[in-house]
Amino acid sequence: MTITTISPAEARRKIDAGAQLVDIRDRDEHARENIPGAVNVPLSQIGSLPPCAQPVIFHCRSGMRTAANADLLAGAAQDAPCYIVEGGIDAWRQAGLPVSIDRKQPLEIMRQVQLGAGGLVLLGVALGFLAGPGFFALSAFVGAGLMLAGATGWCGMASLLRHMPWNRRSQGA
């Protein structure tokens, strides 16, 4: 089955006519910001999507994850017509359509990794110049960790951050 890309406005019309909206982002992303009525089935669990008689519309944050995994999503929809929201929830929000935001939820894990890694690199460089060149090793260590994460798909910093107290709220959501 093929999957078609549609605009947020067209997606809204199809949802109003009975289509099911599926958010393929991770649970922490969905907990912080979501389209009301969207069912959260993370991409890693998309095979558990229950069969649907009505059309299925998939979305992610920017549309890149859904586009990159279009064949997988089409297979998960089984025989139901399926669509991808062009531009994801970002385009949905820009189109003036409703989005539910819970600022009490922590930032998404990957944003926390980006902030943490960037902060550690800057700290390592600043301390390297101000205190001693040995501190440049901190930046090198973070860079090596990011390279490992990119090569293997496992991120030690993300694993550590998931266990922090401020992230425990979203794990049950």
**Of these residues, 52, 60, 82, 155, which one is catalytic?**
60
- Look up 155 and say whether it is catalytic: no
The torsion defined by the Cα of 109, 113, 114 and 119, in degrees rounded to 10, comes to: 140
Q: Could you write out the three-class secondary structure of the chain?
A: CCEEEECHHHHHHHHHCCCEEEECCCHHHHHHEECCCCEECCHHHHHHCCCCCCCEEEECCCCHHHHHCHHHHHHHCCCCCEEEECCHHHHHHHCCCCCEECCCCCCCHHHHHHHHHHHHHHHHHHHHHHCCHHHHHHHHHHHHHHHHHHHHCCCHHHHHHHCCHHHHHHHCC
Contact of 41 with 49, CB cutoff 8 Å = yes
Mind telling me the catalytic residues?
A: 60
